[in-house]
Structure formats: C-alpha cells, structure tokens
Chain A
Amino acid sequence: MALDLVPLWTLLLALAVFYYVVFDGFDLGVGILYGLAPVECRPTVMNSVAPVWDGNETWLVFGGLGLLAAFPLAFAIIIPAVYFPILIMLLALVFRGVAFEFRFKNEALRRFWDGAFCGGSAVATFAQGVVLGTFIQGFQVDGRHFTGTSFDWVTPFALLTGVALMFGYTLLGATWLVLKTEGELQAWSRRAGRVALIGVLAAIAGVSIWTPLEAPQIHERWFSWPNIAFLAPVPVITALIAIAEWRALGRDYEVTPFIAAVGLFLMSFLGIAISLWPMIVPFHYSLWQAASSESTQAFLLIGTLFLLPVILMYTAWSYWVFRGKVRGDFGYH
C-alpha cells in the first residue's frame, strides 16, 4: 500500500477546478453580458447557455467535495477564511439559477428575475475572484486552524482579483457568444470581447507584478536562475495568445476567440500553480501534508474513476446535441 495517490488526486482536482472555471466561467460571463447586451438580443444571450449551465455548475460541488475528500485540511482552513465570499457566491448562484427557471413566469416579476440573473452572475464571479485572491495571499494559520477573522479577505489584492475574474469570465462569455450567435449580436460580442480582453490583460499584468513583490517565495520561484529561463515561455506564450485573441475578435473567426480565451485562462492557471506549488494552503501546508489518508483517497478513487468518464461522456454528448447557432425565438420564452 505504498502507492502515493496525492499526485493523481492533485491532477483530478486541478482538472475539476479548471473545468469549472472555463465552463461555468463562460455561462457566468454570458450572465454578466446579459445586462449589457442590446435589449432585443437578450433572449438569445440567455438561450446560448440555457441547456448547459446547470451541468456546469454541478462541477462546483465536484470541486468542493474533491477538496474536502482529498485535502481535508485545506478545506478546513481555506473555507472558513473565505466565509463571506463563499456565502455570497452560493446565494448569488442560487438566485441566478432560479432566475433561469422563474423569469418567464409572469411579466411583473420578469424584470426582478432578469436583474437576479445578471446581478447574480456578476456577484458570484466577483466572489470567486476574491476567493482566488485570498487563496494566493495565504492565510493566518495556527496549527490546523484558520485563526484570522471572517473579513481578512477584504484586501486590495483580493478585490483586484475579484474584478479581474469579472473581466475574465466576461471574455469567456463574449467569445462563447461569438461562437453561438450570428449577425448583430455576434458583432456586439466581438466588441465586448475586446473590451474585456483589455481588462483581462491589465489584470494579468497587475497580478503578475504584485504577487512576486508581496511574496518573496513567489519572487524566488520565478526570478532565480535557472527558473527564469525555464519559466520565461509562460509570459511569452500568454502574450502571443493575447495578440491572437485580439486579431481573432477583429476578423470573422468564430471558434478561435473562445479557444484563445480558454488558452489565457490555462496560462493564468499554470502561472498560479507554478507560483504556489506544492502548497495547497499557501504558505503553510503542502499537498502531501494536507492530504487525507491513503485509505480515504483510495476508497473514493474507485468510484470516481468509474463514474467520472460516464459523466464526461454524457456532458460531451449534450454539448453535441446543442451544437450550432442559437436564436432568440425559441427555447426560453
């Protein structure tokens, strides 16, 4: 029983989180854009994510339960530290979720549920960004407990990452709309995508400069020799993707913008992973220190390896069924 399952669980959890960020990211971004898009286009905006959003959101539970089961110490320290961002995110997601279901019910309440959809998406995104920022900054820990206050997350850095993620999800949402719509709305989405891209790049630059200045460990990781040589491609590739994204949004590419947006997220994700590795509670506990027992990880792995492929196949199938452009005149009304 000397099999170390930590790397496998790290990979599974990282994939689950990345999957969640990209997939719920685009539908949260579409939710934000819903409030900004021309009024006559809004039904189409909502239709573009209607069949898939709830499947995307369930990955949040996967991520949460995965962290709890595989790295319970991290769950027990991180989640209380972001008590209010998590609370706000959950309630915003609830509102946004039921808005999908209730908004058509009657005209009088439709405006309320429209607001809930857009506002809920924006607030949930901001809260997730704050969680990310708080996570990168690290926590006040004593022994196995978070010992700070429930408002430690209110820092300029965490608020910056909150806004950054709003730009990021908006970019994903805009490029998703480029992919799924045509005509006037698609043209509008291209312009919205470029605005979001500028915000994303400013945010990436801000975070990339800020983190090494604040955390000597991260500075050491990136700028010591020979790391700087190995890691130089990360910013270079990010810059190339950004250029490709800008150009793709300006021409008639339909798929490339979304893929480039996912690429930007992947590079940012990698950047954070490089900065923090192997810490899961920066800068107190490593993945191995926070891991649950081997027996726990093995017991859950059996079922996960059986169920996960089936879920992924079904998800792929449902995206296939809903392929192609959406229109506003059917579906949700």
Chain B
Amino acid sequence: MDALDPVFLSRLQWAWVIAWHILLPAFTVGLASYIAVLEGLHFFTRDEIWLRISAFWTKIFAVSFGMGVVSGIIMPFQFGTNWSRFTDATADVLSPLMAYEGLMAFFLEASFLGVLLFGRKLVPRWAHFFAALMVAFGTLLSSFWILSTNSWMQTPQGYTIVDGRFQPADWMAIIFNPSFPYRLAHNVTAFYITTGFVVLGVGAWLLRRNRAPEEARMMVRMALDLLIVLVPLQILLGDLHGLNTLKYQPTKLAAIEGIYDTEKPAPLTLFGIPDDEAAEMHGAIKIPRLGSLILTHTWDGEIKGLKEWPMDERPPAAPPFYAFRIMVGIGFLMLFIAIAGQVLRRGGRVYRPDGWFLRLCPWIAPLGFVAVIAGWTTTEVGRQPWTVYGLLKTADSVSPSLTGSDVALSLALYIVVYLIMFPTGIAFMANLVRKGPVDGNLEPDAVESGRPERPFERAAQQANAAGKAEG
C-alpha cells in the first residue's frame, strides 16, 4: 500500500485520535457508577469511609473527564475534515445520534458534574447523591448514543437510499439496529470491568504500602465482588455478540476466526499467521469441531470462509485475528484473577500485603484498557473495507480534496500534541493515586472565594494539602 495514501493515513489518524479518546470513557463510565454507589452508601449509612473513598476517586474522575472532553472536541470535526463523503452520505441518519451524544455529555458536564465536584456543602445530601446518580446516568446515555451510531455503521437498517445518500425511514429501527444491544452490553460491561481492575490495582497498591489501609481494603473487596459477577457475564455477552456478528457480519467473523475456506464442521484456530495474499493460515493450531460448537452452538455447523467474498470485500484478517486473541486472552486472565481473589478471600489471605495477589494486581490494572483497544480494533478493522457495512466503502468515504501529504502532516501534529497531553494527564492522575484517600475534612469546600475552581486545580490543591498533612 502506498505510504502516502490519503485513505490509509486518514484511517491511521482516526485510529490515533479515537484510541486515546476511548481510554477516557472506558474509565469514566465505570468510575462514575462506582462513585454513585459510594455516594449512595454514604447517603444511606452515613459512614465516613464511603465519603473518603468517593472523594479520592472523584478527584481522579475530574481529571480523566476533563481530558475526555478535550480529546472529544476533536472527534466530530474528523467527520468533516477527513471523512466528508461519509458525512454527506450518512449525515441524515447518523448526525442526530452524534448530536444527542454531544448534547448529553454537555448537559451532564454543565450541570450535575459541577454539583458533584464542588457542591457537597452547597446542596442537601440527597441532592449531592442525586447529582452523582445523574453523572453516572449521563455517561451511560452518552455511551448509548455513540454506540448506537457505531452499531448502525456495522448493521445498518431503518433507512432508504435516495440518490446515493441514506435517508431515515424509521428512527427506532435505526437506533435499535441488530448489533446495538449486544455492543452496548459488551462495551458497558467492558468499561465497568476496566474500572474494576483499576480500583483493584490501586487498592492493592495502597494496601501494600499500608496507605489508608481501611479504605484500600474496601476498594479491593468491592472490586472483587464486582468482577466475580461481571467477568463471567462478559464472557457470555461476548459469545452472544459473536453469534450476532456471524449472522450480520460474516466477513468480520471469518477474519476473527482466520477462516479462508468455508468449513463444516469448522475447527477453532487457536493461533496461526494469516496470509491474505495466499488466502491461507500458516502454522495454524486447530481444535476440530470447536469452532462450530462455539459459533453455531451445534456439533457440525457451517462457517463461511473469506473466499466466499470477492477480494475487495474482505477485511484484512491479521488485525482482527490477533486483536481478538489478545482480548480473549486478557478476558480469561481476568477470570482467573477474579476467581483467585474469591478463593483467597477465605481467611482474608487476599489482603496480605506481601502476598502474590496484591503484588500482581497493580500490574493487571491497565489490562482492561488493552482489552478495550483490542476489542475495538477487532470490530472496526473487521468491518473493513466498509464504513457502512456492505453499503459504503471506506475508500469512498474520505474527503476527495485531501492528498497523502496533507494527512501525513496533520497526523504528525496530532501525534506530537497527544504525546505531550496524555502522558502529562496520566502522570497527574498517578500523582493523585500516590497521595491516596485523605481525611474527609479535606473534601472540597463548596465554594471558595465566591466560586468553585476548576476540577484539576481542585484536585491538585487537595493533593498538595494531603501531602502536607502526611508530611
């Protein structure tokens, strides 16, 4: 492929800006719900420990939410700058869904987030709890709309085509398109699990250093309770999502499984090296019949191979094939950790500061993000060569005026800026984690000098105050 191909470079640019952006919602969606639970526990029990844990995570939430907004402002403009033909073709159907996502995120940021961050002493206790619930609800609504948009691109329905452009025919059919319920459930569960492992890792890290041990213990316990339910559930949801993909996006499924020739019964390829040119899998390690069993839930179900479709309608097999295996591998590692945590809880061995479990947990913490990126790569590259599956080619979606060097230049600039912004933000959050949960008295004052401050600022001051209090 030509290195200065505007289509390929535009895809890289899209991948770059959205891969960084998706890390934030992957964390904030779960964290918002966790904070709502903590605020609820504090509201009903009046136990101060919930307040301390909530205040700790709220500071981190504020930073990640801020970065999510900043990197999110970039996203809608990408549709215009690089994907103008896609925009022209699909806007009548997709733009309201995207606009609703923006409106809801904005609505949430403008109202309830302010109350959650600064309003504890300004509003009644129930109102503060309510604000936490609304922030959590808002992040879920944002996920709802953006995943509906994405799902429609995967499994479009409810439209008519007039002069080569998609026109809305049935909004309910558009929003609740066939892959949407599975994608929404699979994604939101992934976001919750990602957050769960971060909370587990941070709790373990604090416990090992004997910082705020009471709070840290509670974090570990809550995370383990969540994960033992959600990780098995996620594996089930993933299976269902896979069946849905087999039905509606057979080429993606064939790429994921690395199947070039239609097989009946189909084996399961554990590993191999896909070769799209030769249309065969090199060095494949296969388990007979397992493919049919997993994908069709029958002993000898047929799975269509990529060769059933013309060359120019096949996705590249390697990225979905590898990314899917990374995601599933992480999934089973997570299952092991979740079960091990439950086993070790008997007798309280799990909380032993020098035990292998707490030593391992901080290293596991980032894996949820890796799995999210891998899963996203699987589904997005697997949709190729289409932007709207089966209907609109990616090559026909890019802005016609762009040259390869235009996009190379813009991509280089995005890379430089993101490599400054994101590490700074992550270092900042890591610093907040190091300070640990602090005394409830260091909770944000409702309004200082007549006005609340910016979230980062607030968090930094508390971190400093906490540092002083410790020292």
**A321 CA / B447 CA spacing, docked (Å):** 9
Interface set, chain B 336-356, CB cutoff 8 A to A? none
Is the pair A98, B421 in contact by a Cβ cutoff of 8 Å? yes
Q: Which residues of A contact B272 (CB under 8 A)?
A: none
**A146 CA / B66 CA spacing, docked (Å):** 34
In the assembled complex, B117 has its CB within 8 A of some CB on chain A: no
Chain B residue with Cβ nearest A80: B399
In the assembled complex, A76 has its CB within 8 A of some CB on chain B: yes
Chain A residue with Cβ nearest B421: A98
Is the pair A69, B448 in contact by a Cβ cutoff of 8 Å? no
Q: Which residues of B contact A91 (CB under 8 A)?
A: 413-414, 417
Q: Which residues of A contact B167 (CB under 8 A)?
A: 293, 295
**A93 CA / B71 CA spacing, docked (Å):** 10
In the assembled complex, A315 has its CB within 8 A of some CB on chain B: yes
**A64 CA / B70 CA spacing, docked (Å):** 15
In the assembled complex, B279 has its CB within 8 A of some CB on chain A: no
Contact with B along A74-85 (1 / 0, CB 8 A): 011111110110
Is the pair B81, A86 in contact by a Cβ cutoff of 8 Å? yes
Is the pair B406, A150 in contact by a Cβ cutoff of 8 Å? yes
Chain A residue with Cβ nearest B87: A76
**A318 CA / B85 CA spacing, docked (Å):** 40
Binds A, one of B228-236, B257-265, B366-374, B450-458: B450-458
How far does the Cβ of A318 sit from chain B's closest Cβ, in whole Å?
Answer: 7
How far does the Cβ of A90 sit from chain B's closest Cβ, in whole Å?
Answer: 5
Is the pair B400, A72 in contact by a Cβ cutoff of 8 Å? no
**A76 CA / B77 CA spacing, docked (Å):** 10
In the assembled complex, A272 has its CB within 8 A of some CB on chain B: no
Contact with A along B74-101 (1 / 0, CB 8 A): 1011011110110110011101101110
Is the pair B74, A68 in contact by a Cβ cutoff of 8 Å? no
Contact with B along A31-70 (1 / 0, CB 8 A): 0000000000000000000110011011011101110110
**A95 CA / B73 CA spacing, docked (Å):** 13
In the assembled complex, A108 has its CB within 8 A of some CB on chain B: no
Count B-side interface residues using an 8 Å CB cutoff. 65
Is the pair A307, B69 in contact by a Cβ cutoff of 8 Å? no
Count A-side interface residues using an 8 Å CB cutoff. 66
Interface set, chain A 304-333, CB cutoff 8 A to B? 304, 307, 310-311, 314-315, 318, 321-322, 324, 330-332
Contact with B along A231-264 (1 / 0, CB 8 A): 0000000000000000000000000000000000
Is the pair B87, A69 in contact by a Cβ cutoff of 8 Å? no
How far does the Cβ of A183 sit from chain B's closest Cβ, in whole Å?
Answer: 18
Known: A50-B453, A65-B76, A78-B80. A149 touches B401 (CB 8 A): yes
**A66 CA / B96 CA spacing, docked (Å):** 9
Is the pair A60, B84 in contact by a Cβ cutoff of 8 Å? no
**A317 CA / B400 CA spacing, docked (Å):** 45
How far does the Cβ of A48 sit from chain B's closest Cβ, in whole Å?
Answer: 11
Is the pair A61, B76 in contact by a Cβ cutoff of 8 Å? yes
Interface set, chain A 75-115, CB cutoff 8 A to B? 75-81, 83-84, 86-87, 90-91, 93-95, 97-98, 100-102, 104-105
Q: Which residues of A contact B81 (CB under 8 A)?
A: 79-80, 83, 86-87
In the assembled complex, A125 has its CB within 8 A of some CB on chain B: no
Q: Which residues of B contact A15 (CB under 8 A)?
A: none
Is the pair A300, B460 in contact by a Cβ cutoff of 8 Å? no
Known: A76-B87, A86-B77. A314 touches B110 (CB 8 A): yes
In the assembled complex, A191 has its CB within 8 A of some CB on chain B: no
**A61 CA / B74 CA spacing, docked (Å):** 9
Q: Which residues of B contact A321 (CB under 8 A)?
A: 447, 450-452
Q: Which residues of B contact A314 (CB under 8 A)?
A: 110-111, 114
Is the pair B92, A72 in contact by a Cβ cutoff of 8 Å? yes
Query: Which of A93, A94, A145 counts the most chain B CB atoms within 10 A?
Result: A94
Q: Which residues of B contact A104 (CB under 8 A)?
A: 457, 460
In the assembled complex, B332 has its CB within 8 A of some CB on chain A: no
**A55 CA / B93 CA spacing, docked (Å):** 28
Option from A80, A147, A315 in Cβ contact (under 8 Å) with B80:
A80
Is the pair A299, B456 in contact by a Cβ cutoff of 8 Å? no
Is the pair B402, A150 in contact by a Cβ cutoff of 8 Å? yes
In the assembled complex, B106 has its CB within 8 A of some CB on chain A: yes
Option from B91, B114, B447, B451 in Cβ contact (under 8 Å) with A68:
B91
Chain A residue with Cβ nearest B424: A102
How far does the Cβ of A9 sit from chain B's closest Cβ, in whole Å?
Answer: 11
Is the pair B74, A62 in contact by a Cβ cutoff of 8 Å? no
**A94 CA / B111 CA spacing, docked (Å):** 22
Is the pair A295, B168 in contact by a Cβ cutoff of 8 Å? yes
Is the pair A54, B99 in contact by a Cβ cutoff of 8 Å? no
**A145 CA / B85 CA spacing, docked (Å):** 8
Please name 7 further chain A to chain B contacts, defined as beta carbons within 8 Å, in addition to the given A61-B73, A76-B80, A149-B401, sorted by A numbering.
A68-B79, A75-B87, A84-B409, A150-B403, A150-B406, A304-B103, A331-B448
By a beta-carbon cutoff of 8 Å, the part of chain A in contact with chain B is 50-51, 54-55, 57-58, 60-62, 64-66, 68-69, 72-73, 75-81, 83-84, 86-87, 90-91, 93-95, 97-98, 100-102, 104-105, 144-150, 292-293, 295-296, 299-300, 303-304, 307, 310-311, 314-315, 318, 321-322, 324, 330-332
The 4 A-B pairs with the shortest beta carbon distances in the complex, nearest first, are A79-B80, A72-B91, A101-B456, A69-B95
A-B contacts, 30 of them at CB < 8 A, read A61-B72, A61-B73, A61-B102, A64-B80, A66-B99, A68-B79, A69-B99, A75-B80, A75-B87, A76-B84, A81-B401, A83-B401, A86-B80, A87-B414, A90-B77, A94-B417, A98-B70, A100-B456, A101-B428, A102-B428, A150-B402, A296-B91, A296-B93, A299-B171, A300-B95, A307-B103, A318-B114, A324-B450, A331-B448, A332-B453
